[in-house]
Amino acid sequence: MSQTIFTVLLVITIAIFAWSASRVIRILMLTRKAYPVKELGERFKLTIVNAIFQERIFRNRIAGIMHALVFWGFCVILLGSIEMVIDGVLGTERILAFMGPFYNFMMAAGDISAYVIAVFVVVFIIRRAWLNIGRLHGKELSAINHADAFFALTFIFILMITLAGLNIFYVAGHPDYVGSYPVSALIAPMFAEMSPKGITLLHDINWWVHIVLIFVFANVLPYSKHFHIFMSVPNVFFSRLSPLGKMYTMEEITKEVRMMMNPETAFAAADPGEQPPSRFGILDGEDITWKNYIDSLACTQCGRCSAVCPANMTGKELSPRKMMIDIRRRMREKGPHLLKEGKGYSDQKALIRDYITPEEIWACTTCNACARECPLNIDQPTFILDLRRYLVMEESAAPAQLNAIFANIENNGAPWQVSQQDRMKWAEG
């Protein structure tokens, strides 16, 4: 009976998760291209250093160590969760015990991690709720963002407590238990007086609460900032590898310039299948690239980027974290309509102005401090650059000082208000 209930729950979980994941993938397919994903060796190296060893996280020593231990703890606990799923479907108990010393090691690491993570999660909740840590309280974070963070932390806390509970009552109820549970084995003797029935009941309650919470959590994640649990490793793998600060050229513009330099090519036949650009830069959700989209899904809202942003620090409206939150909010709002009605769908709103103001867009110094600091290699400046490209190329809506520079480049071939004939006058003394 319990096997059947478990299998039904598992199938429902997988079906809902597959639906959520397929929606994300279908929206991803609608996005524009960014750069080709080459240099796989370099990407694997980056993923190991940044995602697995959490290199950037350690820039903030104490919070970094805690976060990294939580991440690694989750990785080792994963084996136990896989075992629980197999046990649940087959009606077995601790089926992976045949792995011997490796199993003992993983169970021991998972047992210790459960207690360590539970303690750290309490510290994270205290930091967030009572310590005045600036980067956790930007004005771009709504009550929903804060509730999301507390909800996920509470969820993780209960997951760890129930994992510890099922280990304790498993050890207490099995004198010949398999695996190694260094912390739980110390606590289990406290329940020596309890009846075997009571111990089994408490074990089963912890087991079911733990696994059902995992199922629920897996399906809440795609709608939470904690989706980064799934997205952070792929996002690091797909990082941009070109040096920060290097601005990519726009193919359509490069082509125009080439035609100006060599007018004969202007009459050459277009490449087969070539479409004229629908829009220069980014105005709204349908203009973003696949990298912008996965960046927004991977963002943990940790605020490290905004904490180092010179514009943000000096009181300007710009917050690179907000840029990622805005992409995600907009895609959640418009993405399903784009899927249903195609790229032509309009709700009379756009990322620019309804979510991100021109004031924010022009406040960026393109210093790239945000991209350098982000633990997930998110590339905020390239997104901001594309928003500017839209404003300049589609609306001619650049700030007045820039318009003067553009006019000079157009008329004089240089940003200064000096004609080409007079260019060398400065050298005459």
Contacts to ligand SF4 by CB under 6 A = 299-305, 309-311, 318, 320-321, 324, 364-370, 373-374, 376, 378, 380-381
Measured from the CB atom, the residue of 203 and 228 that comes closer to ligand SF4 is 228
Report in angstroms how near the CB of residue 144 gets to ligand SF4 at its nearest.
16
Measured from the CB atom, the residue of 171 and 325 that comes closer to ligand SF4 is 325
Report in angstroms how near the CB of residue 305 gets to ligand SF4 at its nearest.
3
Report in angstroms how near the CB of residue 306 gets to ligand SF4 at its nearest.
6
Phi, psi angles (nearest 5°) of residue 32: -85, 165
Distance (Å, whole) CA 78 – CA 110: 8
Report in angstroms how near the CB of residue 280 gets to ligand SF4 at its nearest.
21
Phi, psi angles (nearest 5°) of residue 289: -90, 165
Measured from the CB atom, the residue of 105 and 230 that comes closer to ligand SF4 is 230
Side-chain-facing half-sphere of 126: CA atoms under 13 Å:
7
Cβ neighbours, 10 Å, residue 322: 24
Measured from the CB atom, the residue of 164 and 299 that comes closer to ligand SF4 is 299
Report in angstroms how near the CB of residue 35 gets to ligand SF4 at its nearest.
19
Report in angstroms how near the CB of residue 326 gets to ligand SF4 at its nearest.
12
Q: How far is CA 36 from CA 237, 273, 358, in A?
A: 13, 19, 30
Measured from the CB atom, the residue of 104 and 368 that comes closer to ligand SF4 is 368
Report in angstroms how near the CB of residue 352 gets to ligand SF4 at its nearest.
16
Measured from the CB atom, the residue of 69 and 367 that comes closer to ligand SF4 is 367
Report in angstroms how near the CB of residue 70 gets to ligand SF4 at its nearest.
15
Measured from the CB atom, the residue of 310 and 358 that comes closer to ligand SF4 is 310
Measured from the CB atom, the residue of 166 and 305 that comes closer to ligand SF4 is 305
Report in angstroms how near the CB of residue 322 gets to ligand SF4 at its nearest.
9
Measured from the CB atom, the residue of 76 and 374 that comes closer to ligand SF4 is 374
Residue 257 corresponds to which tokens in the numbers above? Answer: 């310039």
